[in-house]
Amino acid sequence: MQNKNIFYALGVIVFLVFFYFLFLSAPSSFVPKTVVSIEPGTSLHSVSDVLKKDNVIRSRVAFEFFMILFGGEKHLISADYLFENQLPVWQVAFRVANGEHHMPPVSMTIPEGFNVNQIADLAVSKLKNFNKVRFLLQTKDLEGYLFPDTYFFLTSANDMDVRNSMNDNFKKKINPLLPKIISSGKSEKDIIIMASVIEREAKGDTDREVIAGILWKRIAIGMPLQVDAAPETYKTRGLPKSPIGNPGLLSIESAISPQNSPYLYYLHDKNGNIHYAKTFAEHQANIRKYL
């Protein structure tokens, strides 16, 4: 009797070991650092098929069982998943059900002054799911309202993610400045347009406020802006119809709080140094001297 019990116990152990290696353990053909992409809307059946083909799991049935145990298809979180090492099937299911993708975020730095086309070109080079045409359609009225900053995106992020992140960041940055904008007597739109011009015209942080004061003064006296950053301002008076790029915080603050000066003209020499002039004659002299 005792021998029979030992035999049964050994049988159970053998069965469990066999079951584990056949259904629960990772395949021996697994390649370390395998990346599996799960697209939005993908069914649980399709995900198990991809994981099986990529040698992340042995048994689709076991994976789907554990996924149902962890919440079912509604807990299937789309992302790019990095599987650094072999994992038993229940750990694979747990990670997919909880969005534990282990992929390092994609860093994207948008410089101050970039327009939507430049942002799109940069994003295309960084994010595989970014659609430039769709992004340009989505942001046709958001030039100036996408805040330049360093962003961290999932590898699966798309054009809508970039648009929303940058516009939400703009709203966050501009909100504390709204009382000052109101006090300035200018509209938020005019402030952003002017800030976008300042961003292109200034060569550093020290001349933004003075340039802002000069440009606002030109508008006040009915003089065309005449800035190289917006060529149409040589022919028409006032601000451009819309922002020419996406300004940073310093340019926005300079547009809100410009520095008064006796100057009406300015230029930057070949080294980026700025030279001011009170009259057009002085400005012409600076052109001959520095350019």
Question: What average pLDDT does the segment 87-95 reach?
Answer: 92
Verify that 282 and 180 share a domain, yes or no.
yes
Residue 157 domain-assigned (yes or no)? yes
Amino acid occupying residue 161: D
- In whole angstroms, give the CA distance from residue 25 to residue 108: 38
Residue 35 domain-assigned (yes or no)? yes
- In whole angstroms, give the CA distance from residue 210 to residue 44: 60
Question: What average pLDDT does the segment 58-63 reach?
Answer: 90
Residue 31 domain-assigned (yes or no)? yes
Structural domain ending residue among the three candidates 63, 98, 133: 98
pLDDT at 112: 96
Verify that 123 and 193 share a domain, yes or no.
no
178 C-beta neighbours (distance < 10 Å), count: 10
Verify that 170 and 181 share a domain, yes or no.
no
| Number of domains observed in the structure of the chain | 3
Q: Does position 64 have pLDDT exceeding 70, yes or no?
A: yes
Verify that 263 and 244 share a domain, yes or no.
yes
Q: Is 0.85 topped by the overall pTM?
A: no
Question: What average pLDDT does the segment 138-167 reach?
Answer: 96
Range of the domain at 250: 176-290
User: For residue 290, what are its two tokens?
Assistant: 């520095």
- In whole angstroms, give the CA distance from residue 89 to residue 68: 13
Verify that 121 and 163 share a domain, yes or no.
yes
Verify that 55 and 28 share a domain, yes or no.
yes
pLDDT at 206: 81
Residue 107 domain-assigned (yes or no)? no
Verify that 128 and 167 share a domain, yes or no.
yes
Verify that 197 and 282 share a domain, yes or no.
yes
Structural domain ending residue among the three candidates 46, 69, 98: 98
Verify that 212 and 285 share a domain, yes or no.
yes
Residue 205 domain-assigned (yes or no)? yes
Query: Tens digit of pLDDT for each residue in 4-28?
Result: 445 444 444 433 343 444 446 668 8
Residue with tokens 């008064």: 260
Structural domain ending residue among the three candidates 175, 199, 217: 175
Residue 110 domain-assigned (yes or no)? no
Residue 232 domain-assigned (yes or no)? yes
- In whole angstroms, give the CA distance from residue 91 to residue 234: 65
Residue 47 domain-assigned (yes or no)? yes
- The CATH number of whichever domain residue 49 belongs to comes to 3.30.1490.480
Verify that 160 and 229 share a domain, yes or no.
no
Q: Does position 56 have pLDDT exceeding 90, yes or no?
A: yes
Verify that 159 and 182 share a domain, yes or no.
no
Which of 32-41, 222-231, 282-291 comes out lowest in average pLDDT? 32-41
- The rounded radius of gyration (Å) of the Cα atoms in the chain is 30
Verify that 166 and 232 share a domain, yes or no.
no
CA distances (Å), origin 13, targets 1, 6, 10, 25, 88: 18, 11, 5, 16, 18
